[in-house]
Chains A and B, each alone.
Chain A
């Protein structure tokens, strides 16, 4: 167990976010049972007041989760010197079996909380809280995810023992070994490049179509989620080698270091922004039928689409710039 201040703050922060969500779920369950918008009773009033609290708590949780995600990567990055074989965060995460699951879950939770906030925002825009039950049911599902993350993170930190020899990203993300990371890194580059650019173009086009005609929202949403996955794979497979100017270096974490101007953060922020707003658009589709949301939902969807398109366009431009102006030339295979 390392006593690094960051480890303490991450653990404390995680416990805090989990408690906040447990508290919210507790009240959420109460709201689910007793909510009745038509009643003017004091109970209803106090329930409506409660929803403000829960919205506020979840908004803070969202902010904390984002910082926690980056802080976690920063910390594992920082601790790499304590473990033989680790050259960056990738190695530190591999010290025990909880590292990678923790970070995956952190990212998933960030996305989930973002999506919840989209539903919340929509629900608050109209006068009869149409999505209230859906919202709080979703909260009850979200909470176990966050709890799981706290537990995994604890397990990870407690299991950090310096005697364990771990691997560097060079071996984790190379073609040789038997892991998922290595599968991704060794995907044939040309087809993936085509998939990435074609997929991105399709996503952007369908987004523009949706923005102007409010049609094809589901298509856009599905594309935006798929392109998120493809982009993540692309980062590992062919984008990062250009940034490192080293064909064998596929690590998605080394780009977060100072030597590369911390550009990795831009990658992550754009992609996460894109998938939350794109996914949010799709999520709102079934709610357009609700009478009070008939006009508002499409408006919100348009805003989300705009955000998603902006994020993905910026990501693609950034990444293309990095590839084109890199000192490396890879002949495709």
Chain B
């Protein structure tokens, strides 16, 4: 078919044109790829970590009830459990015990949690990898905890947790209820908060309202709200980074425009010759289109692949300082790879689109070189 052949021919010349100006085009591809790499890394990371958070949060209770006092979180008495249990639609209520422990020697915060069933019993703890690394403690080692009253409680490490998702377990210390109460000073009959299971998930908002009515000093928190908050935060953070990177996109667009406009005299001569020997303006426009497409697609694929490797295989290593912040217990994690067409489309819109738009007018300027000009070169 002649139209395909025509484009095949033009594409052939486009490729040879690009190769003839290697230095300029390779520089452009490097910058283009880098830009896509950074943007893609941020997008992939944000989406993957959101998804990760969602998955993890699925395991958390659908509703948590906290007691508040003067707007602050207070311990919740166990007779609240009975009040909530009596509400229609509630399947079960469990008191949770958890809190934070600050280790001044190492400047680290651990999360102490009493799980639903702690098989190791009193005197033992199970710790996350991050804790293990910070304390330099392995199985069988004794770890002293400073209790609320200044005394020390020594607990033996029974197990080091190897959760698939180190993000959540890294700073965890699991222990028994009596040990927790001994360290924290939480009196018997009180819990940190309550986890509530309901029969029908659709009833959650209704039940939450009922709880608020029956126990006015409580604050029911729905898991969906938490999920939403996390997503908003990640989106917001990702978005802020993107807005900042828009500066980079803008600079790149200017560069692209400049490169496209600044035809060397050799390039001008070539196009003049093309017009002179019988190429029409639209033919030269197609030539420029194919040149741009080859550059864009090459950079896009390279950038996306590099970003994939960076985020999912190298754990987003270039941005580590930003994520780590002041945290001492930075988890070693491998994010579950997650890419969908939506992210690719967004990326495309953010990078290839501005690049293409920037080159439209310069391409046209080049294409409308007077064929007559070749006679006077």
Whether A and B touch (Cβ < 8 Å) is answered with yes
A residues adjacent to B (C-beta < 8 A): 2-10, 12-13, 16, 20, 49, 52-53, 56-57, 60, 64, 67-68, 70-71, 74-75, 77-78, 81-84, 162, 258, 262
Of chain B, the residue at the smallest CB distance from A52 is B281
Q: Give the residues in chain B near A258, CB-CB below 8 Å.
A: 340
15 contacts between A and B (CB under 8 A): A2-B232, A2-B236, A3-B235, A3-B239, A4-B239, A5-B46, A10-B349, A12-B354, A20-B357, A49-B281, A52-B281, A67-B348, A75-B346, A77-B342, A81-B231
Taking a contact as CB atoms under 8 Å apart, the answer to whether B235 and A4 are in contact is: yes
Tally of contact residues, B, Cβ under 8 A? 38
B residues adjacent to A (C-beta < 8 A): 39, 42-43, 46, 224, 227-228, 231-232, 235-236, 238-240, 242-243, 246, 281-282, 285, 340-342, 345-346, 348-350, 353-354, 356-357, 360-361, 363-364, 367-368
A258 vs B343: C-alpha distance when bound (angstroms):
14
Q: Give the residues in chain A near B228, CB-CB below 8 Å.
A: 81-84, 162
A292 vs B361: C-alpha distance when bound (angstroms):
30
Q: Give the residues in chain B near A8, CB-CB below 8 Å.
A: 239, 242-243, 246, 350
A84 vs B295: C-alpha distance when bound (angstroms):
43
Which of A5, A56, A75 makes the CB contact (< 8 A) with B364? A56
Q: Give the residues in chain A near B242, CB-CB below 8 Å.
A: 3, 5, 8
A75 vs B282: C-alpha distance when bound (angstroms):
36
Taking a contact as CB atoms under 8 Å apart, the answer to whether B346 and A5 are in contact is: yes
Of chain B, the residue at the smallest CB distance from A162 is B232
Known contacts A52-B364, A60-B356; A82/B350 CB under 8 A: no
Of chain B, the residue at the smallest CB distance from A85 is B205
Taking a contact as CB atoms under 8 Å apart, the answer to whether B360 and A16 are in contact is: no
Q: Give the residues in chain B near A71, CB-CB below 8 Å.
A: 342, 345-346, 349
Known contacts A52-B282, A52-B367, A53-B360; A9/B346 CB under 8 A: yes
Q: Give the residues in chain A near B42, CB-CB below 8 Å.
A: 5
Taking a contact as CB atoms under 8 Å apart, the answer to whether A74 and B345 are in contact is: yes
Which of B224, B227, B238, B341 makes the CB contact (< 8 A) with A5? B238
Q: Give the residues in chain A near B43, CB-CB below 8 Å.
A: 5
Taking a contact as CB atoms under 8 Å apart, the answer to whether B353 and A16 are in contact is: yes
Which of B39, B239, B341, B360 makes the CB contact (< 8 A) with A56? B360
- Given contacts A3-B238, A6-B349, A84-B228, list 13 more A-B pairs with CB under 8 A: A3-B236, A5-B238, A12-B354, A16-B353, A20-B357, A49-B281, A52-B367, A64-B353, A68-B349, A74-B342, A81-B227, A82-B231, A82-B232
Report, nearest first, the 4 A-B pairs whose CB atoms are least far apart: A3-B239, A9-B349, A9-B350, A49-B368
Least distance between A268 CB and chain B CB atoms (Å): 15
A7 vs B363: C-alpha distance when bound (angstroms):
29
A2 vs B368: C-alpha distance when bound (angstroms):
43
